[in-house]
Amino acid sequence: MQQSALALKPATRIIPHLVDTLFLGTAIWMIALLHDIPISESWLTAKIGGLIAYIVLGVIAMRTAAREARSVPAFLAALLVFGWVLSVAVSKSPLGFFAG
C-alpha cells in the first residue's frame, strides 16, 4: 500500500501463491485421507469454503494495493476469515468462533 520496493521483488509476488497452493493442497489431501466428500462433514465443507474465500480476499487485497480503498477492507476480511477457518479446524464446528 505504500508502494514499497519490497512489494516489487519476485519472491514477494510468488510466495503468497505458494502458500495458497499449499493450503488448497492440504485441503485436498485431507479429503483424500477421509475417503469422503466434504459435504458429509459440515465443518470440513465450511473450512474449504472459508479457505476459498480467504484466497479470493487475499487476491483482491494484493491486486488492488494501489487503490487502498478496496485493499484494506479485503485484507482485514481475509484475516478474519483465516481466523475463522482456524477456529473451525480446532472446534470441528462449522460455526467456528461464532458458535460461542
pLDDT tens across 13-51, in order?
A: 788 889 888 988 888 887 788 776 666 778 888 888 999
Domain-embedded: residue 11: yes
Residue range(s) defining the domain that contains residue 30: 5-95
How many structural domains does the chain have?
1
- CB count within 10 Å of CB 83 equals 14
User: What Å distances lie between residue 59 and 22, 56, 97, CA to CA?
Assistant: 15, 5, 24
List helix spans (H) across 1-100. 10-34, 42-63, 68-91
Per the domain annotation, does 100 fall within a domain? no
Query: Does residue 13 lie in a domain region?
Result: yes
Query: Is residue 9, in this structure, part of any structural domain at all?
Result: yes
| pLDDT value of residue 12 | 78
- Confidence (pTM): 0.76
